Structure 1
Amino acid sequence: MKKSRILFASVSGSVIEWYDFYLYGTATGLVFSTLFFPSSDPAIALLLAFATFGVGYAARPIGSIIFGHFGDKLGRKASLMLTLIGMGGSSFLIGCLPTYEQIGIVAPTLLVLLRLIQGIALGGEWGGAILLATEYAPKGLRGLYGSIPQLGVPLGLVLGSFSLTFISYLTSEEQFIAWGWRIPFLFSVVLIGLALWIRGGIEDTPAFKQQKERGEIASFPIVETFRENGKSVFHVIGLKLGDGFFNVFLMSFVLVFASTYLGYSKEIALTALTIGCATMILTIPIIGYLSDFIGRKSIYITGLVLLLLLAIPYFSMAGKSPTWFYIGQAVMLGVVWASIFATQGTIFSELFPAKVRYTGLSFGYQIAAAIVGFGPMIWTPMAEKYGPSPAVFGGFMMAGLAISLVLALFVPDTRKISKYEDTIENYEKGKERVI
């Protein structure tokens, strides 16, 4: 099967999944806090709205267990088809929801339920997309292939942010609040249909086929993951925590932070986010390719050190002017954090053997995501009390980064030592011998 089609299948579904997930995040501060969580105190309404945003992150470990189980027992492809249906269906229904004014407390209840489904679906999507790429990767290019699904994050966010921004330009503020915000959510059903068609035409990965032919399918993947690879799970959790908090801030809470506490307009905040994501689209595959030669561990540690050193300067620059805000987003999100994220999927997957790789990779990553997803609930009262203080916000980020940096020192250089086998070569040779 052509590698280009495999990569397109991995990134296309990933783009759409993250489009839906971050579309919700963008709408949280702009729409949901008003329509679904009305309050006389705007800060309370915003806090409640971001609580539902965090619920999506909290549900992701559940999805990692469910879809990791399917992915390690039935195949990567089957699991990835199910995640698309779960994400697309819930996003479409969010676009159909009545507001609090129309049906009262039932409205936010349904919103939270659909956000839970979104989180569960995404909990299984990320790991499967990574494996679809890395388990098909030619020898010596696993880092490059593993970086391609990561493009789904900036592409999905840009698509989600652009769709809301585009609709807001075409409608008045009253029209946007009344019905305009619903259009991007409803449109997701079209995108999901396209992704299902693309993924329906691919085969499962050589690594999974080889495990199946050998009869080495895990009976209970989550149990075997902790019994044989528990240390790797905790490595993944710790490595993700530090950059994870910064990620949630730079790609979600920054919209509220910039518009509410820095005094910038909604358009400036969205433009800064778009600049950072556009830069990521360029840097991620370049860094992924370099990791096959320099080593993923070296790049990962360098990225963590730079994030730590630049944390306070970033928050100091952000409030100076829109230009400095744009530069900060481009550097911190588009270059420094992107260097970590480009290598993350590959290095995490290389810590686990094939029979529990989907579960181990997904569960560790999503546990960390569940923790950092509640960052906005911490930052909202912080901002209310201290304002956009560089020392407070930068210090918070530095604490998490320090934990990840220490753990990164004990992780092997997986470019040289990994749990991957040359599954593609072995599998193809085995087929030739049978023929």
Structure 2
Amino acid sequence: MKKGRVLFASLSGSVIEWYDFYLYGTATGLVFSTLYFPSQDPGIGLLLAFATFGVGYAARPIGSIIFGHFGDKIGRKSALMFTLIGMGLSSFLIGLLPTYEQIGFLAPLMLVVLRLIQGISLGGEWGGAVLLATEYAPKGLRGLYGSVPQLGVPIGLVLGTMSLTIISYLTTEAQFLAWGWRVPFLFSVVLIGLALWIRSGVEETPAFKQHKESGELAKLPFAETFKNNWKSVLHAIGLKLGDGFFNVFLMSFVLSYSTVYLGYSNQVALTALTIGCATMVLTIPFVGYLSDFIGRKTIYIAGLLLMILLAVPYFSLMAKDALWLYLMQGIMLGIIWASIFATQGTLFSELFPAKVRYTGLSFGYQVAAAIVGFGPMIWTTMAESFGPSPWVFGSFMIAALLLSLVLSFFAPDTRKSSLYDDYPDGLGNFNSSAMHNKKIGE
């Protein structure tokens, strides 16, 4: 199996999954708060709309358990095919969904159900995409390979926001609200079909095939994960929480924050987000490659420290004018957070043995994601009470970042000691590694 095809399969599915997920996030503030949660108070409508946004995050741990089980029992590839189908169908149906004015309460109810399916699907996608890359990685390049599916986040977000931006330019405001916003959701079914075709030609990962042939598959991956690797699960949750809150702000809530509370136009806000994501595309593979030489832990700690130092200045400077907003998004999202994120897939996967790796990696990450997904609801309330205060918002972020920083000092340096078996060529020529005996998290 050619490594380039494996990486492309990992990346393509990840891009499309995140395209759908963040397309919803972009539409939340621009469309859903008006069409599905009408209220005389715009703040209440926005709060309710972001509650459904958070529901997608809350559902992700469920998806990590369901697809983690199948990924560890049946195979990484099979689980990833089903995550694509779930995400594609739910996004397509959102594009067909009647509004509150047309069917009343059923409209937001159905929107929440479809968002739940999105969240469940994505809860199984991320971990599987990471493993598709890292379990094929040659020795010494796992950090680089593990960073490739992470590119799906900025690329998917840019495609999602850009699609809505283009449609908004081509339509009047009335046309955009009437039907224009639906086009990107309906188009997702085409992208999903393409990703399914690409992934269908990829073989199962060497690590899973070796464990299946040796009869070492876990009977109940979720139970076994918490029996033998519960510390690693807690590590993953804690390490993700701090940067996770800032991540949700930088890649989603920033649109509402900068337009509703700072007075920028939608175009300015979307441009700032696009700049940050475009920078991430360059940062992620570079830092992923760098992590194979200086270690994931070193980069993680450095990134958290920089985010703590710049938290208050970020909120203060972005309010000055559009150029500062562009610059701070480029630095905080495109460089600093991107550096942390570049290492996460590989770092978290290295904490778990192959038999429960899909479950452990996915569940730890997605539990943290479920918690931080309700950040927009908290920040909407904060903004209504205190306005866009740099000290209020900055202090909130610093508190969360400090938790991850403390835990990161106790995390193992997985570049030197991991629970991966050693595949020198990344193609399944298995050699039992001495590192396999170092029981991280037990």
How far is 1:423 from its partner? 3.9
Alignment of 1:314-333 (within 5 A): 314-333=314-333
1:185 is the counterpart of 2:185: yes
Give 2:409's aligned residue.
409
Specify the SS of the correspondent of 2:412. Answer: coil
Structure 1 residues 427 and 92: CA distance shift in structure 2, 3 A: closer
8 Å contact kept, 1:154–1:280: yes
Structure 1 residues 75 and 320: CA distance shift in structure 2, 3 A: same
Give 1:269's aligned residue.
269
Give 1:59's aligned residue.
59
Q: Structure 1: which 5+ runs fail to align?
A: none
Letter in structure 1 aligned against 2:91: S
Aligned pairs, how many?
Answer: 431
Alignment of 1:275-286 (within 5 A): 275-286=275-286
Give 2:169's aligned residue.
169
1:91 is the counterpart of 2:94: no
Q: Give the Cα separation in 1 of the matches to 2:50 and 2:429.
A: 52
Give 1:357's aligned residue.
357
Q: Give the Cα separation in 1 of the matches to 2:137 and 2:394.
A: 38
8 Å contact kept, 2:94–2:111: yes
How far is 1:426 from its partner? 9.4
Tell me how large the CA RMSD over aligned residues is: 1.0
Give 1:16's aligned residue.
16
4+ runs of 1 displaced by more than 6 Å?
Answer: none
8 Å contact kept, 2:137–2:426: no
Letter in structure 2 aligned against 1:321: D
Letter in structure 1 aligned against 2:116: L
Give 2:287's aligned residue.
287
Give 1:298's aligned residue.
298
Letter in structure 2 aligned against 1:187: F
Q: Give the Cα separation in 2 of the matches to 1:355 and 1:423.
A: 16
8 Å contact kept, 1:135–1:424: no
Alignment of 1:66-145 (within 5 A): 66-145=66-145
Q: Give the Cα separation in 1 of the matches to 2:227 and 2:248.
A: 31
* Paired-residue identity, %: 77
8 Å contact kept, 2:60–2:367: yes
Give 1:399's aligned residue.
399
How far is 1:41 from its partner? 0.8
Give 2:439's aligned residue.
none
Letter in structure 1 aligned against 2:276: G
Question: With structure 1 as the length reference, what TM-score do the two structures score?
Answer: 0.98
8 Å contact kept, 1:278–1:334: yes
Give 2:233's aligned residue.
233
How far is 1:430 from its partner? 6.2
Letter in structure 2 aligned against 1:316: S
Q: Structure 2: which 5+ runs fail to align?
A: 432-442
Q: Give the Cα separation in 2 of the matches to 1:333 and 1:411.
A: 24
Q: Give the Cα separation in 1 of the matches to 2:430 and 2:296.
A: 30
Give 1:250's aligned residue.
250
Q: Give the Cα separation in 1 of the matches to 2:51 and 2:385.
A: 19
Q: Deviations over 1:140-162 (max 9, x none)?
A: 00000000000000000000000
Give 2:440's aligned residue.
none
Q: Deviations over 1:318-373 (max 9, x none)?
A: 10000000000000000000000000000000000000000000000000000000
Q: Deviations over 1:127-184 (max 9, x none)?
A: 0000000000000000000000000000000000000000000000000000000000
Question: With structure 2 as the length reference, what TM-score do the two structures score?
Answer: 0.97
Specify the SS of the correspondent of 1:420. Answer: coil
How far is 1:421 from its partner? 1.0
8 Å contact kept, 1:60–1:122: yes
Alignment of 1:213-224 (within 5 A): 213-224=213-224
Letter in structure 1 aligned against 2:353: P
Q: Give the Cα separation in 1 of the matches to 2:223 and 2:146.
A: 26
